[in-house]
Amino acid sequence: MNNADTSATAPSNLSAAQAWLAQDPDPETRHELEDLIARADEPAAQAALADRFGTRLAFGTAGLRGELGAGTNRMNRVLVAQAAAGLAAYLADKGNLGEAPSVVIGYDGRRNSARFALDSAEIFAGAGLRAILLPRMLPTPVLAFAVRYFHASAGVMVTASHNPPNDNGYKVYLGGDDHGSQIVPPADGEIAAHIDRISAEGDITRLPRHLGYERAGDDVVDAYVAATAAVSPAPESAAEMRWVYTAMHGVGWETTARVVAAAGYPAPTVVSEQIDPDPAFPTVSFPNPEEPGAMDLALATAQKSDAEFVLANDPDADRLAVAIPDSRVDGGWRRLSGNEVGLLLGWRAARLAATARDNTSPTSSADVSLSCSLVSSPGLEVIADHYGLDFFATLTGFKWISRAPGMVYGFEEALGYLVNPETVRDKDGISAAVALLGLAAEARGRGTTLSGLLTEFEQTFGYFASDQISVRVDELSTIDTIMTVLRENQPDRFGTVKVKRVDDLLTGVDGLPSGNVLRFWLKGGSRLIVRPSGTEPKLKLYLDVRGSSASDAAERLAALSDGAREVLSAVS
């Protein structure tokens, strides 16, 4: 969203639209602009032009992401060409003399993903880079793996992950010392400066293009499958395991099926309506397994097939959702939270790391760490302490989690898990699925279930409960206003829960990079964090408590949630 004044900016927006039309190679967006230009004297067309040209999609640490359409504030072929040329210029500046930088490009099944990937490959090749296009639409984790596989200077994934159907995006990874992680400052700012320069020069038709890009073979996919299957080979107890899988209309199934077979697990019952890529996402209102209703078909399939659990990837398969039978809830199935899955996988990683450490060098624990975003459950730090491992809390996003020193496992509560950092330095919903299958099979071999593992976890580490409050806004300025009020008039309590200390990450805390985050430490060991969403027009509140029992934790969480809503209502 933007606050452009349509009356004041109408002439400049019209000129921008006409200049854009002269360089736009896409018939669909050209038609869109031609219609708006023809109606430029109408208020509705002026508002539409202001929305498309009154601002520009910002290139940042998540690259680009936005709605498809014509204009600087949309994802389209002009914007992608400028981004590709800007990244090429950045890599040329950073490259070694006599050695051409290289970029590997991947894409998912969304609208225009393949076209944006082809445009990028041609522009990279035209700039003198070695450009390698993955063989077909593939999951984001395969692209992250491919950056290291090809020893590439950078990688680009064309995806909008779990965003609405009419969105797309452009995610950038760096090779070399960054080991295939997503970009962080200052690289994002330097790339953005090159993009802005190219945009100011005006005409993408002048950008050199070349068809001399390479098309990768299946060897890169084969290598990813082998490495991911090795995360957790199936034990004998997996032989009769019954489970359900959905790809959420995304690109996860082909690769996941190969990995599951290579690891030796039985094939799942698939949600047939959602198993093939479909950019319209026809069976869900929002293609995010966190959203209410998104997993309804999967849960119905599980009920019919008497499954033991459900696994779901999001459309680009970098996230994983899990559901288990639970007679206490309506429908008899419960989706596990990202924190619940993250702590189970963290427990697994800590056991493996501690065993490996103790078998090699019992005195060296500082070289091994667990990591999670600061808004994720504090339970991971308890696990790390229990096993004598280091722990790092980072800003949100795997661009930060993946860079934690000695990290063997990282997660964030938004269904993202990094279980195999030597293979993929980003969240990976497929390797996480294999690790989860291993946990389920191990539990099965002991006569228990994933639900039983959760109970064992609580008995070992304590009772953690988490919740999230999201406030969607029409104008991003509303979020800035709320954050300013909370900073200037810091609440001393949330309901009956008193505030002990407030960390304002804009000023720098605990060595973390600056961020628009407020962290409230509360009496009784509770915690509340407030931050804007990085991908949607939302303000998010993250609530975490630890109780003496499951019921005590639930009561503490309910009280904190009520208090947080009261404060939010007072300041918004």
One DSSP character per residue, 347-415 reads HHHHHHHHHHHHHH-TT--TT-EEEEETTS-THHHHHHHHTT-EEEEESSSHHHHTTSTTEEEEEETTT
Quote the CA–CA distance of 287 and 313 in Å, as a whole number.
10
Structural domain span for residue 526: 462-571
Give the pLDDT of residue 8: 41
pLDDT band of 7, cuts 50, 70, 90: very low
Collapsing DSSP to helix, strand or coil, 521 comes out as strand
Question: Average pLDDT of 162-176?
Answer: 95
Q: Which two tokens stand for residue 136?
A: 């077909």
Task: Please check the confidence at residue 1 and state whether its pLDDT lies above 60.
Answer: no
Residues in contact with 444: Cβ distance below 8 Å, sequence separation at least 6, in sequence order = 237, 238, 241, 308
Comparing C-alpha atoms, which of 275, 310, 308, 155 is closest to residue 220? 155
Q: Work out the percent of the chain whose per-residue pLDDT is above 90.
A: 86
Question: Average pLDDT of 374-385?
Answer: 96
> Under a CB-based contact definition with an 8 Å cutoff, are residues 302 and 244 in contact?
yes
Looking at the fold, whether 394 and 493 belong to one and the same domain comes out as no
The pLDDT mean for the chain works out to 93
CATH number, domain containing residue 108? 3.40.120.10
Q: Active site includes 402?
A: no
Crossing angle (nearest 10°) for helices 429-445 and 219-229: 30
pLDDT band of 386, cuts 50, 70, 90: very high
Catalytic residue among 102, 153, 161, 402: 161
Q: At which of 217, 241, 269 does a domain end?
A: 217
pLDDT band of 5, cuts 50, 70, 90: very low
DSSP character for 337? P
Question: Average pLDDT of 418-425?
Answer: 96
pLDDT band of 306, cuts 50, 70, 90: very high
Looking at the fold, whether 275 and 358 belong to one and the same domain comes out as yes
Task: Please check the confidence at residue 209 and state whether its pLDDT lies above 80.
Answer: yes
Residues in contact with 362: Cβ distance below 8 Å, sequence separation at least 6, in sequence order = none
Q: At which of 413, 442, 461 does a domain end?
A: 461
Question: Average pLDDT of 475-488?
Answer: 90
Strand partners, 169: 65
Q: At which of 17, 35, 55 does a domain end?
A: 55
Looking at the fold, whether 210 and 229 belong to one and the same domain comes out as no
Comparing C-alpha atoms, which of 414, 415, 435 is closest to residue 423? 435
Looking at the fold, whether 12 and 26 belong to one and the same domain comes out as yes
List the single range of 81-90, 96-105, 107-116, 293-302 with lowest mean pLDDT.
96-105
Looking at the fold, whether 455 and 360 belong to one and the same domain comes out as yes
Looking at the fold, whether 263 and 135 belong to one and the same domain comes out as no
Instruction: Please give the backbone phi and psi of residue 439, each rounded to the nearest 5 degrees, phi first.
Output: -65, -45
Looking at the fold, whether 66 and 51 belong to one and the same domain comes out as no
Question: Average pLDDT of 51-61?
Answer: 90
Task: Please check the confidence at residue 56 and state whether its pLDDT lies above 90.
Answer: yes
The total number of structural domains in the chain stands at 4
pLDDT band of 510, cuts 50, 70, 90: confident
Looking at the fold, whether 453 and 421 belong to one and the same domain comes out as yes
Give the pLDDT of residue 557: 95
Question: Average pLDDT of 130-150?
Answer: 98
CB atoms within 10 A of CB 413: 22
Q: Which two tokens stand for residue 438?
A: 């291993």
Looking at the fold, whether 287 and 346 belong to one and the same domain comes out as yes
Task: Please check the confidence at residue 11 and state whether its pLDDT lies above 70.
Answer: no
Looking at the fold, whether 156 and 132 belong to one and the same domain comes out as yes
Looking at the fold, whether 147 and 71 belong to one and the same domain comes out as yes
